[in-house]
Chains A and B, each alone.
Chain A
């Protein structure tokens, strides 16, 4: 059987899906490795300004720089911050690649802050070690990446949403099927290897403002990659270890204690008192934040009003021109001046993100998922707390390994029947003449997530949440889109729906509490190392049902001392 003529097919060696942070690095690396390889970068938006670093970044949150820390220190810190459940080899591969990557980016023209002697100006924000490297002039990072993509002649396909991965008879990945977001055209990219770099799943929960797109994450990152990986048969991991962040209330962007902390700012309660030892984001830190909000001492604030005028000006310069530059306008609108007022903070909606937490598509230290030929990097993959530099390092690791894998293989055969069925499913909302608008459907899913799946987690509530979601399956067949843009949203909404189900299923499987607020399970309040010192993997089983299993934690490459293990459990400032 041949593909119908309305489906365009493009053949490549390496396909990279998602052109934010990890994606461009993976694509450039693939070309560096093998200049003859055909490498395509497929992006839902436009690689010039897509992803989390669209407007730049104000610092590297997790930089392992010689003289300040060793890879072993970093692996220890991240292991402790994640209550022990990490693939240490994976964290080590990041830590060991960290400094080379900083130097590479530096040589490409990314500016990192240096001290008087020309050394990187490292700051301490984490509980134990020193890992933050400011980049106050970081706004041009996307431009720099774009130049590299052009120089290496990476094929760029903007405005296509990848929707399903394809695989061949042997179960190896063979490309993807994607939807044009402007014309609702369907394309198939046939590839020998695929690197998924689709970012976090940032649209699972509903922001407190009720605005669907007022999320912490760039909302183009809505869990497409998580859903694609699930449907192609890959394992996901740690989904019960939600991403929940402490943010500016309503604005929903980072308060940036990492920027303000080294300059004397801190997170405070309503009395203006410090209540956490350390502003580095972790589940324990979020638990204390939550307790303060609920316990009568809230709301919680970012406190800067004690700082000197020139310090405040420096903070304003960094925070109002970089990363989330509309922040200044938000404050102006409410008459908030750092000099005179503390800035109200709140807890974000839930999401999946390895960049900040530990939830995502399982990968090992080579960036391999559990499906042959499929690699993953950045926020959607599973190396914990990897942030921006981790996205770059794993982008590079995946670029190298995917290129090598592609060399071992001929172009795979396409499953025409599957592609045609998918085309019809993807386009269906536009064939209808009325029905449920994607925005209403998505709002309802995300509202249910807030009502039933957000921590504190309760079995009875999650039961109801799952049942309500199950009932909404019916609605998918009634989604209605009037144009290509709404069709994009309709397809995104189905991935948001998948992610919501995954959040519930993984959370109910792990019958203990761990990672502070991230998996605070009221029915099982204690951490149970005897039974649950393991990863929880989520996958599609033989009957196409969502299932979970446990996976033992690999032997550590860096052992922890007994007294170190609990460092992150002691977050609260002690009285006196």
Chain B
């Protein structure tokens, strides 16, 4: 069964300027109940890899540098 990849606008945005993942921070990735945040191999920063978000906000609340913004997923807005 052949497959295709579709793009999706994700609700969580990480400010690369503020994110200190290169210093070893993984807080947002650790706390996300749906395990959808990841490290971007290229930039070394955290990002939302899967569009499966409960807009619950631990990622934003616990980020030490206020780098994370949780928006409401597009389909719900």
Contact = CB atoms under 8 A, between A and B. Distances in A.
Do the two shown chains form a genuine complex with each other? yes
Interface of A: 45-46, 48-51, 54-55, 159, 181-182, 209-215, 218-220, 250-252, 324-326, 329-330, 333-334, 434-437, 478, 480, 485, 488-489
A250 B76 CA distance: 5
25 contacts: A45-B32, A46-B30, A46-B31, A46-B32, A49-B62, A51-B33, A54-B33, A55-B57, A181-B35, A182-B35, A209-B73, A213-B34, A213-B54, A214-B54, A214-B76, A250-B76, A326-B57, A326-B72, A329-B70, A329-B71, A330-B77, A435-B1, A480-B1, A485-B36, A485-B49
A478 B33 contact: no
Contacts of B50: 485
Contacts of B75: 209-211, 214
Nearest to A202: B54
Interface string B13-57: 000000000000000001111111000000000000110111111
A183 to B, nearest CB: 12
Given A213-B54, A480-B3, A485-B50, A159 B73 contact: no
B12 to A, nearest CB: 11
B1 A434 contact: yes
A50 B77 CA distance: 25
Contacts of A55: 56-58, 61
Nearest to B61: A55
A441 B17 CA distance: 38
Contacts of B58: 48-49, 54-55
Contact of A220 (B3, B33, B49, B62): B33
Contacts of B3: 434-435, 437, 480
Given A49-B33, A478-B1, 15 more contacts: A45-B33, A45-B34, A46-B32, A50-B33, A54-B33, A55-B56, A209-B76, A211-B73, A219-B54, A329-B70, A333-B77, A334-B77, A434-B1, A480-B1, A489-B52
Contacts of B72: 251, 326, 329-330, 333
Nearest to A440: B3
**Closest CB pairs A-B (n = 10):** A49-B58, A49-B31, A45-B33, A211-B75, A326-B55, A213-B52, A250-B76, A209-B75, A209-B76, A220-B33
Q: Which label, helix, strand, loop or mixed, suits the secondary structure of the A interface?
A: loop
B52 A212 contact: yes
Contacts of B57: 55, 325-326
Contacts of A212: 52
Contacts of A181: 35
B38 to A, nearest CB: 9
Contacts of A478: 1
A433 to B, nearest CB: 10
Contacts of A480: 1, 3
Contacts of B61: 55, 325
Nearest to B11: A326
A214 B34 CA distance: 12
A372 to B, nearest CB: 32
Contacts of B32: 45-46, 49
B76 A211 contact: yes
Pick the most buried of A45, A215, A334: most chain B CB atoms within 10 A of its CB. Answer: A45
A181 B37 CA distance: 13
Contacts of A220: 33-34
Nearest to B71: A329
Contacts of A333: 72, 77
A208 B47 CA distance: 27
B30 A54 contact: no
B45 to A, nearest CB: 18
A513 B73 CA distance: 37
A501 to B, nearest CB: 23
A436 B52 CA distance: 18
A485 B50 CA distance: 9
A324 B56 CA distance: 6
A330 B70 CA distance: 11
Contacts of A434: 1-3
A213 B32 CA distance: 13
Contacts of B55: 214, 326, 330
A178 to B, nearest CB: 14
A63 B56 CA distance: 25
